[in-house]
A and B are shown apart, each in its own frame.
Chain A
Amino acid sequence: MDQAAAVAIHRDLTRPVLETGRGFYMTLAALGTVMAWALFCWGYQVYHGLGVTGFNRPVFWGVYIANFIFWIGISHAGTLISAILRVTQAGWRRPITRCAEAITVLALMIGPMFILIDLGRSWLFYWVLPYPSERGLWPNFRSPLLWDVSCITTYLIGSLTYLYLPMIPDLALLRDSTPCRRWLYRTLALGWKGTPRQWHRLETAISVMAVLIIPIAVSVHTVVSWIFAMTLNPMWHSTIFAPYFVVGAIFSGIAILLLAMSILRKSARLEMYLRPVHFNNVGLLLLALSLIWLYFTIAEYVTTWYGDLPEEMAVFRYKLAGPLAPYFWGMVACCFLIPAPVLAFKKTRTIAGTTAAAALVVVGMWLERYVIVVGTLTHPRLAFNWRDYAPTWVELSIMAGAFAYFAFLYVLFTKLFPIISVWEWKAGLPSASPPRPSPGATLSHEPLPR
């Protein structure tokens, strides 16, 4: 490989790690303020009880659970997409895999937080973990919430591993070349030396993980959907929910990945690395998912409408023509009507076009979660109990805090670690096809000077 090119890549990709501008601190301060306010709101809620939210009977869940599903969905950005691209050996994946995997790990730190916030007695959350206690009490594995605990734990550990493994050579690189935070990189690089054996084992481990993480990711959103589908409630008790949620998750994941790419491109000056072709390709993926999402949505709603069961139709009408109609039609507009044409034409599938479409999809998918959770709960089977729901300032503040927290963590991540894999990018250069044969053993012998 060209030495100069390697040096340039190294410089470009580690620049965001090394150079810290005023914008960085201002961003962190702004996000930190929102987070502090949200933290105060959460404290307020724990102190007074969940009554400070807009929940009531029968709407026992609301914005919090909608956010839980939304963030777990976002977490499908990374690992799943990057795993699929790796397994299919798509060459254009190189600049976006780590960016996506980081989204996964960070979103997985946000999502389960909402379950904690949603608990009536948050301080007892550890009762859902299986551990021996003097009471001899264990959690109930029949509960879909325990399935979630198990699957999300697995997914979090799996995606952390999957983020970490390809990062080791870059951590070693930073350990050896940066003047700052060396202790961090030395600890995390674990003594990586770059011997052929290590490289080979790394590639094996990454490919094993890529295969493992796909079924794990699918299982996570499957069990998230089963929280709803396992109940008898109208328009929750649906067999389509598991694949519908998985598709929605990948859909919103790709959208947030596009947004992250677009922001990073500008803020970290990575125009040379995140090129229009990447936006084009990810945009096409987004288009495909938009169509699949539409198909699932139609399948879900048309069967309900045709079946015309009174309990289900109550929810159906509330969503499509009742107070939730703005949310529902907003979702349709944001998930399909606007982004699909934008993504379908080459002329609009530009960086700006895909970014705008992605932003809409993120909003649309949040609306979808909200409509699913609230729509059904407002209309339980016994009509005497029907009631509306509106979130209060506490819920909205905590939700804003979660978004700020995610952005905060992401900014911090890009500050600490190169967001584009340096070694993978170098390995992807055309001149750098690594020679595969065993060194020393198979090369021809030239006459040697004595």
Chain B
Amino acid sequence: MSPFPVRIIASFHDLPTVQQALADLEHQGIGRNQWELFSSQPVGVDENEKSFIARSALIGGILGAVGGGGLAAGTAVAMGLQTGGMPTVAYAPVGIIVFALGGLGAVIGTLISFFAEAGLARFPDPAEAEIGRRLSRGETVLSVSCQPHESPRVEKILKLRGAEVYLEA
């Protein structure tokens, strides 16, 4: 249960207006933890929060490479069959498998960390259908959570910035 019982959803026509509205809200003591922004366009975020995706790709790549090397070399040792006068573990083929599976690991690492960080592949919240409809019309949606007594004030600020507001309990 959120400590803020009231959720106000407002849609704006463009991003700069939203940012002005957010500035207004902050002035009124409505902090970062109280609002959420939805946009159909790329928006910037706080760069202080580092993404783990690149490192995850690297880790996945290393795991894949080690796994690939193990698979290729292990198979050669386990089968123990001589072919073409090659050594049991022939380095060039192992290197190729290491490269390929390293790449695979990196791709999977990227994908998993992206899903985890972006909070995807989870059951959506039913309230989002309305937000989605507004986004698909090219609007930008701001959702503000607040205490009941704050809600008229928040609503007023948003409306002053030209938002179309609708309330939700």
B53 and A154 contacting across the interface, CB-CB below 8 Å: no
Which partner residue on chain A sits nearest B115 by CB separation?
A190
Chain B residues with CB under 8 Å of A196's CB are 37, 39, 43-45
C-alpha spacing A195/B68, complex, angstroms: 37
- One of A3, A141, A191 near B72 (C-beta < 8 A): A141
Q: Is A443 in contact with chain B by the CB < 8 A criterion?
A: yes
- Report A206 CB to chain B, min CB distance, Å: 9
B107 and A209 contacting across the interface, CB-CB below 8 Å: yes
C-alpha spacing A205/B86, complex, angstroms: 41
Which partner residue on chain A sits nearest B53 by CB separation?
A204
- Report B103 CB to chain A, min CB distance, Å: 5
B44 and A212 contacting across the interface, CB-CB below 8 Å: no
Of A60-68, A92-100, A143-151, the one with at least 4 CB within 8 A of chain B: A143-151
Q: Is B149 in contact with chain A by the CB < 8 A criterion?
A: no
Q: How big is chain B's contact interface, by range?
A: 35 or more
C-alpha spacing A223/B96, complex, angstroms: 9
Of A118-126, A169-177, A283-291, the one with at least 4 CB within 8 A of chain B: A169-177
Q: Is B110 in contact with chain A by the CB < 8 A criterion?
A: yes
- One of A161, A173, A204, A445 near B135 (C-beta < 8 A): A173
- One of A140, A151, A199 near B42 (C-beta < 8 A): A199
Of A31-39, A272-280, A375-383, A430-438, the one with at least 4 CB within 8 A of chain B: A430-438
C-alpha spacing A308/B164, complex, angstroms: 80
- Report B11 CB to chain A, min CB distance, Å: 11
- One of A3, A195, A203 near B38 (C-beta < 8 A): A195
Chain A residues with CB under 8 Å of B86's CB are 142
Chain B residues with CB under 8 Å of A153's CB are 100, 104
A219 and B100 contacting across the interface, CB-CB below 8 Å: yes
C-alpha spacing A216/B101, complex, angstroms: 10
> B1-41 interface mask toward A, CB cutoff 8 Å, 1 = contact, 0 = none?
00000000000011110111011111110001001111111
* Those of A186-239 within 8 Å (CB) of chain B: 186, 190-205, 208-209, 212, 215-216, 219, 223
* Those of B108-152 within 8 Å (CB) of chain A: 108, 110-111, 113-115, 117-124, 128-129, 131-133, 135-138
Chain A residues with CB under 8 Å of B83's CB are 140, 142
> A124-148 interface mask toward B, CB cutoff 8 Å, 1 = contact, 0 = none?
0000001000001111111100110
A150 and B100 contacting across the interface, CB-CB below 8 Å: yes
Q: Is A157 in contact with chain B by the CB < 8 A criterion?
A: yes
B26 and A440 contacting across the interface, CB-CB below 8 Å: yes
Q: Is A1 in contact with chain B by the CB < 8 A criterion?
A: yes
B18 and A439 contacting across the interface, CB-CB below 8 Å: yes
- One of B13, B39, B157 near A448 (C-beta < 8 A): B157
- Classify the interface of chain B: helix, strand, loop or mixed: helix
B44 and A444 contacting across the interface, CB-CB below 8 Å: no
- One of B40, B79, B124 near A194 (C-beta < 8 A): B40
- One of B44, B68, B78, B136 near A436 (C-beta < 8 A): B44
- One of A142, A161, A219 near B76 (C-beta < 8 A): A142
- Classify the interface of chain A: helix, strand, loop or mixed: helix
C-alpha spacing A448/B24, complex, angstroms: 7
C-alpha spacing A130/B74, complex, angstroms: 11
Question: With A7-B137, A165-B114 as given contacts, are A201 and B53 in contact (CB-CB < 8 Å)?
Answer: yes
Among B13, B117, B136, the most chain A Cβ lie within 10 Å of the Cβ of: B136
C-alpha spacing A348/B103, complex, angstroms: 41
25 A-B pairs within 8 Å (CB atoms) are namely A1-B41, A141-B93, A150-B97, A154-B103, A173-B40, A173-B135, A173-B136, A175-B132, A176-B135, A177-B133, A190-B121, A191-B124, A194-B40, A200-B44, A202-B42, A202-B118, A204-B51, A212-B110, A219-B100, A223-B96, A435-B44, A436-B44, A438-B45, A443-B19, A445-B27
Residues of B participating in the A interface, judged by any CB pair closer than 8 Å: 13-16, 18-20, 22-28, 32, 35-47, 49, 51, 53-54, 57, 68, 71-72, 75-76, 78-79, 81, 83-84, 86, 90, 93-94, 96-97, 99-101, 103-104, 106-108, 110-111, 113-115, 117-124, 128-129, 131-133, 135-138, 156-157, 160
